[in-house]
Structures are given as structure tokens and as C-alpha cells.
């Protein structure tokens, strides 16, 4: 699986996790309907399934996924919560993504 496909899969995985956690937040903190728990459960099940589609060992996938999750969470902060990320947020995202790339690329066998 090439790096762009892996990254795209990580993006979908992060969205599924964030949506699965955001919907219960809306119910618990914002007073929305408890019916949001149903799509939240489906989203979290989708998140778990998406993690299984990666070709590497689970621990490596989870470690690399963390970098993408941080990035998508800050994008969510900006788009959904209308809070603009700070310079330190963006610096942290860069560090996370570099770490993710090191983990994914470093796990590839030498040619």
C-alpha cells in the first residue's frame, strides 16, 4: 500500500473516530437527543474496522495513526468548533506528522 493510500485511510479513520466521539459529546454536554448514540456507535465500529485495513502490525498502525488523528482533530476544532488553531497547534501537528511518516516509512523493508 503506498503512502498516499495509507494517509487517506488514516484520514477516514480519524474522521470516523472523531464523529463517533463528538456525537456523544453533543448529547452529554449540549443537550442533544440520545438518538445520536446510535450513529456514534456505528461511527466507532467503522473506526475500528478501518484500523484493520492497514497492512502493518496493529501497534505500529496505532502509533502512526496518532499523528494523523491530532491533525484531523485540530482541523475539526477550526471547521466545526470555529476555533482557529494557534501557531503552537500547527507546530505540534507538524511534529506529529513527521513522527507518523518516520514510523510508516521506517517500517518498510529496504529495497
Is 111 a member of any domain?
no
Domain span including residue 76: 3-106
Render pLDDT for 32-91 as a digit per residue (tens, 0 to 9).
Answer: 999 999 999 999 999 999 988 877 777 778 887 888 889 999 999 999 999 999 999 999
Number of compact structural domains in the chain:
1
Is 16 a member of any domain?
yes
Q: What is the pTM of this model?
A: 0.80
Band (103; pLDDT cuts 50, 70, 90): confident
What three-state secondary structure class fits 34? helix
Is 80 a member of any domain?
yes
Helix 3-30 / helix 37-51 crossing angle, nearest 10 deg: 160
Amino acid at each position: 500500500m503506498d503512502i498516499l493510500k495509507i494517509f487517506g485511510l488514516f484520514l477516514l479513520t480519524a474522521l470516523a473516530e472523531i464523529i463517533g466521539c463528538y456525537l456523544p459529546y453533543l448529547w452529554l454536554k449540549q443537550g442533544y437527543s440520545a438518538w445520536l448514540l446510535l450513529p456514534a456507535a456505528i461511527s466507532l465500529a467503522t473506526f475500528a474496522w478501518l484500523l484493520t485495513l492497514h497492512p502493518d502490525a496493529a501497534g505500529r498502525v496505532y502509533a502512526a495513526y496518532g499523528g494523523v488523528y491530532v491533525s484531523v482533530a485540530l482541523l475539526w476544532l477550526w471547521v466545526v468548533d470555529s476555533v482557529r488553531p494557534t501557531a503552537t497547534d500547527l507546530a505540534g501537528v507538524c511534529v506529529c506528522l513527521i513522527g507518523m511518516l518516520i514510523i510508516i516509512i521506517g517500517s518498510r523493508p529496504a529495497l
